[in-house]
Amino acid sequence: MTDWSAPIVVVPGKVSLDDLLQVLAGRSVVLDPAFWPRVEAAAQIVAKAAQADTPVYGINTGFGKLASTRIAPDKTALLQRNLIVSHCCGVGPATPEPIVRLMMALKIISLGRGASGVRREVIVQLQDMLARRVYPLVPQQGSVGASGDLAPLAHMTAVMIGEGQALVDGKTVSGSEALAAAGLAPLILGPKEGLALINGTQFSTAYAISGVLRAHRLARAALVTGALSVDAAMASTAPFRPEIQQLRGHAGQIAAAATLMALLDGSDIRQSHLEGDERVQDPYCLRCQPQVAGAAIDLITQAARTLTVEANAVTDNPLVLVETGEIVSGGNFHAEPVAFAADGIALALSEIGAISERRIATLVDPALNFGLPPFLTPDPGLNSGFMIAEVTAAALYAENKQRASACSIDSTPTSANQEDHVSMAAHAARRLSDMADNLASILGIELLVAAQGITLRAPHTTSAPLLAVIAKLREQVPALGPDRYMAGDLASAAALIEADALPAAAGAALLNDPFPRLD
């Protein structure tokens, strides 16, 4: 059983998405003590370089276009402090606390690899802030994912040194007040430490990891709502046969079809119309679920692999090679892998919603729903039923379609053309939160509509797993009779989707299937 009060001991290079999911849910982290010697060795190499005559970028020089400007050893602390406050240029709403918490944990993991040259005290400050729930107020906008997430990470670092603002118990206070309330002192940054803290992809990666975890849950839920729609539409399960999927070979498609077959196994509705049904084929939104959902699952799974690597990566600059004693400049701060992963997740979220919306439209349309009343109301005309719920699903899908355009191709030069190609990873990752919200509502509407359709098929019944799902829904939302205020119904259904309640209700049919794990 998980002890949520205990921090996760992170081993850089081996941190899993399950670990990071727990951070999002509220746990703090501490670095595996085995990594302290390497951290301290790298810090000693940086300290020596700061006192030397040879220019080393970011240690005894300015930054970016100002890299040719030498900085005297006695100005090192001021250089790092100025770097942080000058980069606190974020705007927009505050980043949600779970994302800030994950960003801080990812920075601990990255610095803990012992290639950034920071002192032990820097990592300990982050660990203590996490443990005592001191969360920097980080504006969401301002990063282009180039030299890392400079502005967001600067706002995080500002609180570490007693500057900026923080959230403590839901209240906004100054960084110095937040540290004092937690019994912590402001950190005085040493050579390279400010640069190490703001170079990196941790802001973008935190948003992207939250997005991929939500996308995975929503893809699972979509298989449940899709199976419900199949029975509500009295559609065929023949397209889900494993032989068809094996002939193509995509892992996600095979897993999606197996899940649909398991969910629909034993349905009386399906058996009731095997004879006398003149339809030869169902619409694509029903028949091609394995192909579409499976492709989305494969995209999500690949993105998860990329983001797991990134979560364990060293992404600042320059880097310290402890074995040789060298300090070398590179480009690990460029967030192109994160941007590509987030773009893929966005495509998956959009397409899962697109095909779900088409299933909703099919079920409310009397020309397509095989004998169900218009808009699934027992008394159409006097009642509108699910007419406008379907319109809402269409509106949300349209928003997601607009947001799914690739961000990674939208580079714009910055910093006097020194940073002349940027990833836009922060844009790519941040939009996933809104897209996931929209998809949860779309799937919630499909849950309501499909459950209503199955109810109207009485006395025929669906399978045991899907009956359990409908029973879970009916604990909060009764079947629709006469028209009623529906906004609350939509909110309750979306909450069930977000809580991963549908797979849990379906039981072994979904939870024991070959659905790919992300880690």
DSSP code per residue over 425-468: HHHHHHHHHHHHHHHHHHHHHHHHHHHHHHHTTTTS---HHHHH
For residue 37, give both structure tokens: 């010697």
Of 156, 172, 200, the one marking the end of a domain is 200
Q: Categorize the per-residue pLDDT at 76 as very low, low, confident or very high, splitting at 50, 70 and 90.
A: confident
Q: Are residues 28 and 72 in the same domain?
A: yes
**What is the dihedral sign for C-alpha 340, 344, 346, 347?**
positive
Give 424 or 89, the one with higher predicted confidence.
89
Say which CATH number the domain at 487 has. 1.20.200.10
**Sheet architecture: strand order including 135-136:** 135-136, 165-168, 171-174
In terms of Cβ atoms closer than 10 Å to its own Cβ (0-12, 13-18, 19+), residue 475 is: exposed
Q: Are residues 12 and 57 in the same domain?
A: yes
Site of tokens 């850089």: 12
Spatial separation of the C-alpha atoms in residues 133 and 413, rounded to whole Å: 37
Q: Categorize the per-residue pLDDT at 375 as very low, low, confident or very high, splitting at 50, 70 and 90.
A: very high
Average pLDDT for the chain: 92
Q: Are residues 295 and 431 in the same domain?
A: yes
Q: Are residues 392 and 505 in the same domain?
A: yes
pLDDT of residue 413: 78
Q: Is residue 405 part of a domain?
A: yes
Render pLDDT for 287-313 as a digit per residue (tens, 0 to 9): 999 999 999 999 999 999 999 999 999
Across 2-11, 144-153, 396-405, least confident range: 2-11
Q: Are residues 137 and 215 in the same domain?
A: no
Of 170, 200, 230, the one marking the end of a domain is 200
Average pLDDT of span 455-477: 96
Q: Are residues 114 and 164 in the same domain?
A: yes
Q: Is residue 415 part of a domain?
A: no
Render pLDDT for 16-37 as a digit per residue (tens, 0 to 9): 999 999 999 999 999 999 999 9
Residue 242 has pLDDT above 80, yes or no: yes
Residues of the domain holding 162: 8-200
pLDDT of residue 512: 40
Taking each helix axis from N to C end, the angle separating 150-160 and 120-131, rounded to the nearest 10 degrees, works out to: 90
Q: Is residue 340 part of a domain?
A: yes
Q: Categorize the per-residue pLDDT at 224 as very low, low, confident or very high, splitting at 50, 70 and 90.
A: very high
pLDDT of residue 24: 96
Average pLDDT of span 321-348: 94
Of 200, 225, 250, the one marking the end of a domain is 200
Q: Is residue 40 part of a domain?
A: yes
Average pLDDT of span 397-404: 97
For the chain, what percent of residues have pLDDT higher than 70?
94
State the amino acid at position 114 in one-letter form: G
Q: Categorize the per-residue pLDDT at 514 as very low, low, confident or very high, splitting at 50, 70 and 90.
A: very low
Render pLDDT for 434-443 as a digit per residue (tens, 0 to 9): 999 999 999 9
Q: Is residue 316 part of a domain?
A: yes
Residue 216 has pLDDT above 50, yes or no: yes
Q: Is residue 247 part of a domain?
A: yes
Residue 3 has pLDDT above 60, yes or no: yes
Candidates 228, 205, 208; CA nearest to 216 is 208
pLDDT of residue 515: 42
Q: Are residues 169 and 244 in the same domain?
A: no
Q: Are residues 40 and 88 in the same domain?
A: yes
Residue 511 has pLDDT above 50, yes or no: no
Average pLDDT of span 90-96: 96
CA 291 to chain centre: 23
Structurally, the chain folds into a number of domains equal to 2
Residue 274 has pLDDT above 70, yes or no: no
Q: Are residues 246 and 224 in the same domain?
A: yes
Number of other residues whose CB lies within 10 A of the CB of residue 18: 12
pLDDT of residue 513: 42
Q: Are residues 296 and 278 in the same domain?
A: yes
Q: Is residue 416 part of a domain?
A: no
For residue 448, give both structure tokens: 């309501």
Q: Are residues 239 and 376 in the same domain?
A: yes
Cα–Cα distance list, 248 to 171, 242, 244, 348 (Å): 54, 10, 7, 20
pLDDT of residue 277: 61
Q: Is residue 1 part of a domain?
A: no
135 among known catalytic residues:
no
Residue 64 has pLDDT above 70, yes or no: no
Strands 326-328 and 319-321: antiparallel
Residue 480 has pLDDT above 50, yes or no: yes
Contact 20, 112 (CB under 8 A): no
Candidates 513, 10, 34; CA nearest to 297 is 513
pLDDT of residue 280: 65
Q: Are residues 195 and 220 in the same domain?
A: no
**What is the dihedral sign for C-alpha 112, 116, 119, 125?**
negative
pLDDT of residue 421: 79
Residue 478 is given by DSSP the state P
pLDDT of residue 411: 80
Say which CATH number the domain at 182 has. 1.10.275.10
